[in-house]
Structure 1
């Protein structure tokens, strides 16, 4: 909604109230229902392309439910029903109005389905508690019922505003920050307006100037949601963001405890159910959150050691696993072989076919090499660029050389198209016996030198690095 349209709407509503007023409040009711409907549409429209799309939709749903509650009051007025005949249905609609509003303000969002289910269960218990208490109090004492209703509404409205404001101050994402700014302003306006009407004008008739105040609040929300102004990112203190992120899961249980505290004097059974539900839900959510964090940590750990293009390990995983492979080979009484593998003329292949096709060749070669190394002790990561490296137990140098030849022949027989002919590889092989005192890093250097010689000799071949002599070995450390 533009500013001009908002002013036109409010002027129209003011004229209806001034000319007709409480004598026939239907016209004012119709405009009063239209205002939150326009705000709901503006929120849904704002969700398009926004990183806070789900939050905008939930706010739109909440405001739409408020329109339905006003529609129920209009029906009461048109049908000539007594206030008591429509109280229950109006109360249900106002309860439902606060459900998505509370969820979007107090729920951390994100997480897996189980965590979101716990949040929704807390909100469901919160408003069930609220509704049962109000329903039980209605037949007893009208004044007491109204006082309880106003008190609980004020507490809930103020907490929704506080939660939204805290989320706004700690949010650094521009889209989500704009959303929580809008929600904070709307929640504050709703809290102050409800407090003013309930405290100073509780018996105000329908169709009076209070309707214009309510209409103005929703028109303001429609203007803010429909605004095309996008503010730049704001630097937020990391400490503040961490504190708020850690504290947000407490918001829903805290709200549930506050409502339980308000009903404790008159309905201790409901209050006890609220307290137990809040504590149990927070404990369950904490457990589920820890499980989710551990799962994400394991995934990140796996991704940190995995090459995303080929699905093989990366250089980091090889460097961390080489020492363990060396010790394992020694325990088995075997030597250790390292094979450095390079795709021949890979730059020319990329220049001819393009990088996407080059990536497909890399994946194909990785699959062929991985298929030739089937033992669980064999390491085969992508070492970098078009290079792969393998480390595996091997009883003798000739066995390692034959393995390198098998890898070379397997790639060549696949006949993958290349810039000139088919894709081939060059392999440098280095081997050391179980009794050799050299570090496994020396094997990598020797395999790299052997690869250089294989490429220098014409490519598409395997070269075995000569064994180190005693004089080439590093000096033994002194005792």
Structure 2
């Protein structure tokens, strides 16, 4: 769709109605249906190109509106100008707002069950709008007071759509979503003004007159925006953090609050619907809060797990190791158990990084980490990345000889990998420092770590690719 094409469409619409006055109503209904279908096709294509889900919902809304206008055309063909029975078209015009309200009031970041609840609330809102409008049938067939109430309900729906779109636009950072909500805001305001003018000043005018050309404008303008408006700025837009948080907190309330307001409007007409609306808005929103809370708990647990895992190697990180060592030390102190710590370092890792590059260095870290992790087979053992090229293991309930044997298994298994390295051994090797205690109540766990680090230093000073165990501190004796 181009500006010239839009101008031609409007001109042909007007000329066709002028040239064939006897069938102007049917001709105009066909053009109005076509304008919505054009908008639907343009927004659908934009949805496929941009990946922003709101465009698909907007395309579906245009289809519903086109269906409502097509239903009007069928009524004209079947009943002439008696339009009071066109309840089907009224339902489609009301439901037209449902996917748009859903797009504006349901954040895409929410999990699927929450989005489903939002969709149910949007559908219920549309049905309650219809319950209100069905009392007055159609504008043409209603009393003066009924027509005014009916027009007012359409005004309320259109105002809600425009307001919701503007609110989302104000808090949107993502360029694609911001472009969508900007387009929707412009379209919603144009449609709101056009519908208000038609419903309040032309309610007694049949289709086929010059005023119908105004109805084309919002749809053709939407098609133009969907086809041509692509922001050059693709970086996130700066939005005040406080404003963003306020709107994020308020957005979930928009659907149930609107449903409560519309339900309240039925209290003197359909009191049963009012009670149902109040109950459903409360219960469904409560269910939504439960689902959001469960999702937040799952996300918190996931982030907690990620915070304890080293992203490069997949092993527990230093934070996780520190917590585990503190836990095992406390247990050993209570039960009088034993505890060993291994400090492990990849030999000549700087030479490897400088000679082969950091990508190869990362690959070697992952290979060594995987091998070390396989060596610690007991559920109580933990191998973690301590930082840089250093790894560490905590081994509860183990004696000194077993700790040395496991350290030697780790050293030999890494050596057997034969990973190429510019180091003097021409392959990746590790050095291991071992510390062990059977008297946790007589020292601190920091001392155990320090002794393992000292043993690692001795292993490196002795030529690397070696395992060294730290000497046990002298047993404390009581002084008489």
TM-score by length of 2: 0.88
Q: Gapped runs of 5+ residues in structure 1?
A: 472-479
Task: Please give the residue correspondences for 1:53-202 in structure 2 after superposition, counting only pairs within 5 Å.
Answer: 53-79=52-78, 81=80, 83-84=82-83, 87-135=86-134, 137-138=136-137, 142-143=142-143, 145-202=146-203
Distance change in 2, residues 1:329/1:233 (3 Å): same
Work out which of the residue numbers 306, 313, 335 in structure 2 matches 1:332.
335
Work out which of the residue numbers 459, 464, 467 in structure 1 matches 2:472.
467
SS in 2 for 1:24: helix
Q: Deviations over 1:403-443 (max 9, x none)?
A: 21122233344x35434665432211122342464332233
Task: Give 1:20 shift.
Answer: 4.4
Work out which of the residue numbers 426, 429, 437 in structure 1 matches 2:431.
426
Distance change in 2, residues 1:235/1:41 (3 Å): same
Task: Give 1:202 shift.
Answer: 0.3
User: Is the contact made by 1:256 and 1:274 (CA closer than 8 Å) also made in structure 2?
Assistant: yes
Distance change in 2, residues 1:8/1:347 (3 Å): farther
Q: Specify the alignment match of 1:315 in structure 2.
A: 318
User: Is the contact made by 1:425 and 1:461 (CA closer than 8 Å) also made in structure 2?
Assistant: yes
Distance (Å, rounded) in 1 between the aligned partners of 2:455 and 2:63:
73
Task: Please give the residue correspondences for 1:4-83 in structure 2 after superposition, counting only pairs within 5 Å.
Answer: 4-20=4-20, 24-50=24-50, 53-79=52-78, 81=80, 83=82
- Between 189-198 and 143-152, the greater mean CA deviation after superposition: 143-152
- Between 328-337 and 258-267, the greater mean CA deviation after superposition: 328-337
Work out which of the residue numbers 389, 398, 403 in structure 2 matches 1:400.
403
User: Is the contact made by 1:107 and 1:251 (CA closer than 8 Å) also made in structure 2?
Assistant: no
Task: Give 1:345 shift.
Answer: 4.6
Distance change in 2, residues 1:429/1:112 (3 Å): same
- Equivalences, count: 469
User: Is the contact made by 1:428 and 1:451 (CA closer than 8 Å) also made in structure 2?
Assistant: yes
Distance (Å, rounded) in 2 between the aligned partners of 1:249 and 1:275:
16
Task: Give 1:233 shift.
Answer: 4.1
Q: Specify the alignment match of 1:220 in structure 2.
A: 221
TM-score by length of 1: 0.88
Task: Give 1:468 shift.
Answer: 4.1
Distance change in 2, residues 1:68/1:325 (3 Å): same
Distance (Å, rounded) in 2 between the aligned partners of 1:72 and 1:404:
80
1:448 partnered with 2:438: no
1:410 partnered with 2:413: yes
Distance change in 2, residues 1:416/1:211 (3 Å): farther
SS in 2 for 1:383: strand
Task: Give 1:307 shift.
Answer: 1.6
Distance (Å, rounded) in 1 between the aligned partners of 2:34 and 2:217:
11
Q: Deviations over 1:75-96 (max 9, x none)?
A: 3334554534751221232233
- Between 75-84 and 159-168, the greater mean CA deviation after superposition: 75-84
Work out which of the residue numbers 292, 295, 308 in structure 2 matches 1:305.
308
Q: Deviations over 1:224-279 (max 9, x none)?
A: 22212334643211111111101111111111112211211111001110111111
Task: Give 1:22 shift.
Answer: 7.0
Distance change in 2, residues 1:293/1:28 (3 Å): same
User: Is the contact made by 1:339 and 1:389 (CA closer than 8 Å) also made in structure 2?
Assistant: yes
Q: Deviations over 1:300-355 (max 9, x none)?
A: 11101112333221112112332222112222313332111123455566677776
Q: Gapped runs of 5+ residues in structure 2?
A: none
Task: Give 1:156 shift.
Answer: 1.3
Distance (Å, rounded) in 1 between the aligned partners of 2:248 and 2:24:
50
Distance (Å, rounded) in 2 between the aligned partners of 1:176 and 1:30:
32
- Between 211-220 and 167-176, the greater mean CA deviation after superposition: 167-176
Distance (Å, rounded) in 1 between the aligned partners of 2:469 and 2:334:
24
- Between 323-332 and 353-362, the greater mean CA deviation after superposition: 353-362
Q: Deviations over 1:351-374 (max 9, x none)?
A: 777766655544443333223323
Distance (Å, rounded) in 2 between the aligned partners of 1:240 and 1:361:
47
Distance (Å, rounded) in 1 between the aligned partners of 2:236 and 2:396:
54
Work out which of the residue numbers 273, 289, 292 in structure 2 matches 1:286.
289
Distance change in 2, residues 1:455/1:7 (3 Å): farther
